[in-house]
Structure 1
Amino acid sequence: MAGQFKSAFAIGVSTIALGIAVPAAAQDSAAGAEAAADATVDQGIGEIIVTSQRREENLQDVPISVSAFTGEQILARGTTDIGRLEGLVPGFTFGRSGQDARPSIRGVRTENVGVNGDTTIGFFIDGVYQSRAAQATQGFVDIERLEVQRGPQGTLYGRNTFGGNIAITTAQPKLGETLAGLDVTVGQYGRFRTDAFVNLPVSDTLAVRVAGSFERSDGWVENVNPLGNNLFDDKSEFIRGTLLWEPNDRFSAAIKVEHASRGGAGGSAFGYKIIGSYFDVGSRQQLYNATPVRNLNTRGGNRDGVNDALPGSSVATSDLGIPIFAPGDGYRIDTDQPTILDLENTALTANLAYDFGGVTLRSITGYTDFGAVRTSDSDFSGNQIAIDYQNTEAKTFSQELQLLSSDSTSRLQWVLGAYYFHDELRGVFINQQLPRIIRNVTPNLNLAQNGAGFYDEQRATTESIAFYGQATYELADGLRVTGGLRWTEDTKDFAFANANAILPTSGTPPVPQGSAITLATGPVPASAFGVKGAQTNCTYTSFPPPRAGFQCLAANTTVLTGATYDTAKFRKATWRLAVDYDVTPDNLLYASVSTGFRSGGFNSGQGPAALQPTFDPEEVTAYEVGSKNRFAGDTVQLNLSAFYNRYNSLQEQRQVPQGSTTLSIIENSGKARAYGAEAEALWRPVPGLEIGANLAYLNAKYTEYDQVPAPFGTSILVNDASVTAPTIVNGVQIAAAGQRRVFAPGYSCGLIPGTGGTGQAAAAFGCDISGNRIPHSPQWTGAVFASYEIDLGSLGKLTPFAIMNFSSSFFGQPFNSILERQESFQKLDLRLTYAPSENISVQAFVNNVTDERTINRFVWGGGGALQASYAPPRQWGALLSVRF
């Protein structure tokens, strides 16, 4: 290991050892203080039960890095979605584009949210995996517990828990109790939300619980254009019904049905604000990482007939794009196309368990029908140029069987499981080019549309089976060893099609008219997708050549309509080895090594994506040492961990030009690693006062990642009369006489081997970005918080709460250029709760008091324009809670 890692690892181990030694010594020297603390029951830190090892255990007894929150804590801290976990969970950062959640943990981030890929951080509701990133942005309603497990969970949870898990447990019906609750929130941007639940006993063995929510709010991104609309408004409804049947002490069955819908404008599809681009000033060409230009929107078709000057140059001889509206202001836009969000999610879950005496059999069944339609103004401007449409559909079924030991007195605790998963996915992306109206000049320019539109429909099916087992054996009092193994086989099918099969044609031979593509185009016929393994009818000669399963127009076999790829299988055994030791009943020390993987998949074979039709699985080996501690009469809690993760073939998303838009593809990087340390501390020095903090250090970098094309403009040609002969590299001419090829400054770039030669793809250029930081991996993150419950006697209780979370800078893309950098920040949230009784409380809150304006998603789009999504600005509101 590198010397830097050895130092960090030594610091982490020393810190953990100190975390054990100091409290252990303190327990001996402060026995009197502990006795006094024990007399004050309310002063101690309560237990949280978690299911991180697929059984109910005290959080402090689980030898895994887990952060957990009860339903009461979730409500008190205003955690209405997983984005609010940033700062509460060490090392957790949250990104978002539109309705897609993009969390990051320990150098693993959620990048690909298309139907051709899987999540990297698992999202579970009541033990059922949710396959789409947008499912994680739904509001939390009537939650019993929330757990965030950091690091790969490949043994007990499977292939799509590469970076960790986010697991929600909803509130279950209670037998023999009549309960109800109502929460009403009002706030800035016209926000009005109600959450309610009712728990009804039907008999001694049967109970039902119904929960729901209703929310309306205006968008917090203001659109100054009357033709458009504000972004991030909220028009959502949610309903859940759960039936619990416990006919005896051995059997229980919980059946749950829920439906969620969300409408309004949404948050655009991939981003909504243009940051800028890069230009080579002398040649006035776009060149990655050259001179940053933050005031021009260079998307395709954004030309207003006005010549623009570049920074450092007084020459304004060419039209480089329209001005960006309110550059740098992430909360004001000028777009003329009203955006739409239409999200529906229906789920059915059945959790059954039977205790045979010493052994429990559990069944977890889940079915989800999910759909989301999103549109966005493709040109990010008040000009009429283009609009994008995205539709994602998923029908998901999963069945898991578990056999668990249930004798808590036995030295051997074990779990065996079998898992089946079936996911039917459909994704449609459409770019419609419109007759252009350039409104930022007077008089307005009326121009023809900017070429053809684009249509891509992808159909993917995943079928996965897995078998797993994990056992923990107590070798001696307090000393336990754990071993786990999981075998997984993923079977994936993939097909894609474009609109060529249904577009009007002209000419001889007939050529489809892409200019006729609209948001209403489709559906394409099944014949457009071709047949798996069938001989292709395609005769086009571009690279790569047509292959089995590819389908072209019968009237013009040089025109591709789609293809069905051969079935791919991905098999992997993942494992975990661990040891943990109770130094004292309140101090746990553990060490583990585990593995995880995420399946490979397919890229749509249109245009440049055909050069890389498939991508490989990514793998991780993770080492961790940690400690969990309670001392001073359960008034102090300190949990520590240090880790080293080694990654292979990380799946990276890249945008490639495709006509007037861009196409997202996935490629594999070489190798990467991440190491760091995390700490969570909680202190209750006197009754009512709680002080806490968490801190995370992360060093996450690519160790091997070369031949990577820049997002745009990897190289350009400039005139240079001093060059009197062509420039030849590996037998390939990369510049003619009188020209010079200039590569993206600051990087080691060159010709990608195997391109540019006879019978090969056109010359392509790439760079070596080994050593760059993995995106969305700040070196330092953390939070400090405090609350104090003030007893007002007969008037009730008053509880102020404050939390300040912070982050060092990070990059949003692998090339780590200046435009992709989010600077360090601090955010402060304040809450004040008044409870006149145990059943009623009123809370006033201000989130992001400091009004920090941070970017949580960067992506390079068409025309070499960097687009971004921002985190919410300062927001205030009030919450009334009533319990019956």
Structure 2
Amino acid sequence: MRSFRAQLFIGAAITSLGVAGLASAQTAAPAAPTETIELEEIVVTAQKRSERLLDVPMSVSVTTGEQLLSAGISSTGDLGQISPGLVTVNNGLSFTPAVRGISSVGTSPGDETNVSLYLDDVYMGAPLAGLFDLKDIQRVEVLKGPQGTLFGRNATGGAVRIVTLAPSFTPRAEVSAGYGFDFKEVKLGAYATGALADNVAGSLNLYYTNNDGYIKGVAGNQGKRCGVNETFSTRGKLLFNLGDDLDVTLAADYSNRHDNALFALSPHNRQNGNRGNSAAVIAGPFEYAGGTQPIVDVEGGGGGIDANWQANDYLTVRSISAYRTVDGYYQTDTDRTNLPIGALVLPQYQDTFSQEFNFSGPGDDRLSWIAGLFYYHSKAGNPSFASYSGMPPTAPSSRTIATR
């Protein structure tokens, strides 16, 4: 076998030399004309103005909506798969991303991550609202490194900016559907945009997903499934062109997510203080043995007004007003076994209002400038806190959304 390989290699080398000699003996053919390849320009707003990505003096990773679709990225929790330096983390109900290792772990009401999350330039201050589906997306910009100059104190690690599609006066509609046989997963989506009047365009996005769960119940949960994800979300926009120098966009969105996979967990390597108890059943991988029904419910939404006014050739004024609200409810088994030892039931809420004004000059001159004002008000809390010992609840004691 060794001699055969050697002969084959030598033969290939001789053949290559022969071809090279023949090529050198021939008269050189005239060079083909060089083709000009034009690269598509990527326009971002990482510095709160429209600029070519090549002109932005910072580290920015940009992913288009088409790239998200082809990569199968369907939520903010998946963005770490395609953006180098970004790690997306769920800490309980909260979404706490990390950029270049900079992150935060606070999940109490009112806590905010130090990697800012923006949706259409609206600051998503509540980590509770950070995990959502990515539909009708134009692009996602990940700004790496401190961004305090333009994005404030809550961007010491970086910023994640999600830009959705603007309404178009050209009619367009898309419908998508998918089905997964293993867990009976259903995904349905629809998007439509078009002109509603001479100077008004609208868009509407709908998305729904549901599955039977990928975590098998054991012990008292025999025959039940966990890891169930049921999500409904919608977003609508109205664009008003009020002249050549003024346009106003009204936007509203709503989402309702039920996903108990976060609390259908088993101890790492089956390490649990109750493993010495003969009555304790500790679940294995993709199993759940808890004595409490795991629940993770998050409901939220908001609305806003985005107005752009080109005052003159030297001044552009932008106003962004937004109100957002989110409510969370979770219930978890704290000992991770079938024993009636402990459980936790905790509702949480956060309401925010923000108002931002940006004043900027032309960006193509030797001197470019931007100034702004930002107001932010947040109200958050845990209306109740229930820790159980003995016999924890197997069903929700209360599913009432957190009261203010």
TM-score (norm 1): 0.39
Contact 1:98–1:266 (Cα < 8 Å) also in 2: no
Cα offset for 1:402? 0.6
Residue from 330, 333, 357 that aligns with 1:401: 357
Residue from 371, 374, 386 that aligns with 2:342: 386
* 1:532-571 equivalence runs, <5 A: none
Per-residue CA shift, 1:828-879, capped at 9, x if unaligned?
A: xxxxxxxxxxxxxxxxxxxxxxxxxxxxxxxxxxxxxxxxxxxxxxxxxxxx
Match of 2:324 in 1: 368
* 1:569-718 equivalence runs, <5 A: none
Cα offset for 1:123? 0.7
Cα offset for 1:152? 1.2
Per-residue CA shift, 1:549-597, capped at 9, x if unaligned?
A: xxxxxxxxxxxxxxxxxxxxxxxxxxxxxxxxxxxxxxxxxxxxxxxxx
Go from structure 1 to structure 2 and tell me whether the alpha carbon gap of 1:206 and 1:339 turns closer, same or farther (over 3 Å shift): same
Cα offset for 1:323? 6.1
* Structure 1 Cα separation of the partners of residues 166 and 206 of structure 2: 14
> Is residue 34 of structure 2 the alignment partner of residue 36 of structure 1?
yes
Residue from 348, 354, 370 that aligns with 2:303: 348
Contact 1:123–1:136 (Cα < 8 Å) also in 2: yes
Match of 1:413 in 2: 368
Go from structure 1 to structure 2 and tell me whether the alpha carbon gap of 1:152 and 1:519 turns closer, same or farther (over 3 Å shift): farther
Residue from 143, 146, 155 that aligns with 2:140: 146
Cα offset for 1:204? 2.4
Matched position secondary structure for 1:267: helix
Contact 1:348–1:366 (Cα < 8 Å) also in 2: yes
Match of 2:10 in 1: none
* 1:266-415 equivalence runs, <5 A: 266-268=261-263, 272-275=265-268, 294-298=269-273, 304=277, 322=280, 324-326=282-284, 329=285, 331-357=286-312, 358-406=314-362, 408-415=363-370
* Structure 1 Cα separation of the partners of residues 89 and 187 of structure 2: 24
Match of 1:781 in 2: none
Q: Which amino acid aligns with 2:238?
A: L
* Structure 1 Cα separation of the partners of residues 100 and 159 of structure 2: 12
Contact 1:396–1:424 (Cα < 8 Å) also in 2: yes
Cα offset for 1:344? 0.9
Matched position secondary structure for 1:298: coil
Contact 2:304–2:320 (Cα < 8 Å) also in 1: yes
Residue from 389, 409, 424 that aligns with 2:379: 424
Cα offset for 1:99? 3.8
Per-residue CA shift, 1:144-197, capped at 9, x if unaligned?
A: 11111111110101111121111111111012x111111222224221111211
* Structure 2 Cα separation of the partners of residues 405 and 95 of structure 1: 38
Contact 1:363–1:401 (Cα < 8 Å) also in 2: yes
Match of 2:176 in 1: 183
* 1:755-770 equivalence runs, <5 A: none
Per-residue CA shift, 1:624-669, capped at 9, x if unaligned?
A: xxxxxxxxxxxxxxxxxxxxxxxxxxxxxxxxxxxxxxxxxxxxxx
Per-residue CA shift, 1:123-150, capped at 9, x if unaligned?
A: 1101111122232211111111111111
Contact 1:120–1:162 (Cα < 8 Å) also in 2: yes
Cα offset for 1:433? 1.3
Cα offset for 1:383? 1.9
Matched position secondary structure for 1:384: coil
Matched position secondary structure for 1:86: helix
* Contiguous gaps of at least 5 residues in structure 2: 1-30
* Structure 1 Cα separation of the partners of residues 352 and 64 of structure 2: 28
Cα offset for 1:419? 0.2
Task: Number of aligned residue pairs: give it.
Answer: 366
> Is residue 131 of structure 2 the alignment partner of residue 137 of structure 1?
yes
Matched position secondary structure for 2:385: strand
Contact 2:142–2:158 (Cα < 8 Å) also in 1: yes
Per-residue CA shift, 1:227-278, capped at 9, x if unaligned?
A: 385333211111111000012110010000111111253522xx82212xxx
* Structure 1 Cα separation of the partners of residues 227 and 39 of structure 2: 38
Q: Which amino acid aligns with 2:252?
A: V
Contact 2:280–2:339 (Cα < 8 Å) also in 1: no
Matched position secondary structure for 2:130: helix
Matched position secondary structure for 2:54: helix
* Structure 2 Cα separation of the partners of residues 420 and 436 of structure 1: 43
Q: Which amino acid aligns with 2:229?
A: D
Residue from 57, 60, 84 that aligns with 1:66: 60
Q: Which amino acid aligns with 1:181?
A: E
Cα offset for 1:389? 1.3
Contact 2:316–2:360 (Cα < 8 Å) also in 1: yes
Contact 1:218–1:230 (Cα < 8 Å) also in 2: yes
Higher relative contact order (CA 8 A, sep 6+): 1
Go from structure 1 to structure 2 and tell me whether the alpha carbon gap of 1:92 and 1:436 turns closer, same or farther (over 3 Å shift): closer
Matched position secondary structure for 2:234: strand
Go from structure 1 to structure 2 and tell me whether the alpha carbon gap of 1:157 and 1:434 turns closer, same or farther (over 3 Å shift): same
Match of 2:99 in 1: 105
Contact 2:64–2:139 (Cα < 8 Å) also in 1: yes
Contact 1:296–1:322 (Cα < 8 Å) also in 2: no
> Is residue 238 of structure 2 the alignment partner of residue 238 of structure 1?
no
Match of 1:247 in 2: 242
Identity over aligned pairs, percent: 25
Go from structure 1 to structure 2 and tell me whether the alpha carbon gap of 1:165 and 1:521 turns closer, same or farther (over 3 Å shift): closer
Q: Which amino acid aligns with 1:140?
A: L
Q: Which amino acid aligns with 1:343?
A: V
Go from structure 1 to structure 2 and tell me whether the alpha carbon gap of 1:337 and 1:111 turns closer, same or farther (over 3 Å shift): same
> Is residue 190 of structure 2 the alignment partner of residue 202 of structure 1?
no
* Structure 1 Cα separation of the partners of residues 91 and 290 of structure 2: 17
Cα offset for 1:341? 2.3
Cα offset for 1:52? 0.6
Matched position secondary structure for 2:298: strand
* Structure 2 Cα separation of the partners of residues 209 and 225 of structure 1: 48
Matched position secondary structure for 2:260: coil
Match of 1:279 in 2: none
Per-residue CA shift, 1:319-373, capped at 9, x if unaligned?
A: xx946332xx3x2222232122221112101110100112100001110011010
Q: Which amino acid aligns with 1:325?
A: A
Matched position secondary structure for 2:349: strand
* Structure 2 Cα separation of the partners of residues 391 and 416 of structure 1: 39
Go from structure 1 to structure 2 and tell me whether the alpha carbon gap of 1:236 and 1:521 turns closer, same or farther (over 3 Å shift): closer
Go from structure 1 to structure 2 and tell me whether the alpha carbon gap of 1:409 and 1:107 turns closer, same or farther (over 3 Å shift): closer
* Structure 2 Cα separation of the partners of residues 221 and 295 of structure 1: 16
Matched position secondary structure for 1:156: helix
* Structure 1 Cα separation of the partners of residues 158 and 349 of structure 2: 25
Per-residue CA shift, 1:808-841, capped at 9, x if unaligned?
A: xxxxxxxxxxxxxxxxxxxxxxxxxxxxxxxxxx
* Structure 2 Cα separation of the partners of residues 94 and 264 of structure 1: 17
Cα offset for 1:76? 1.3
Matched position secondary structure for 1:238: strand
Cα offset for 1:519? 5.2
Cα offset for 1:388? 1.0
Q: Which amino acid aligns with 1:128?
A: V
Go from structure 1 to structure 2 and tell me whether the alpha carbon gap of 1:333 and 1:145 turns closer, same or farther (over 3 Å shift): same
Go from structure 1 to structure 2 and tell me whether the alpha carbon gap of 1:429 and 1:163 turns closer, same or farther (over 3 Å shift): farther
Matched position secondary structure for 1:347: strand
Pick the structure with more helix per residue. 2
Q: Which amino acid aligns with 2:86?
A: F
Q: Which amino acid aligns with 1:413?
A: S
Matched position secondary structure for 2:331: strand
Contact 1:296–1:323 (Cα < 8 Å) also in 2: no
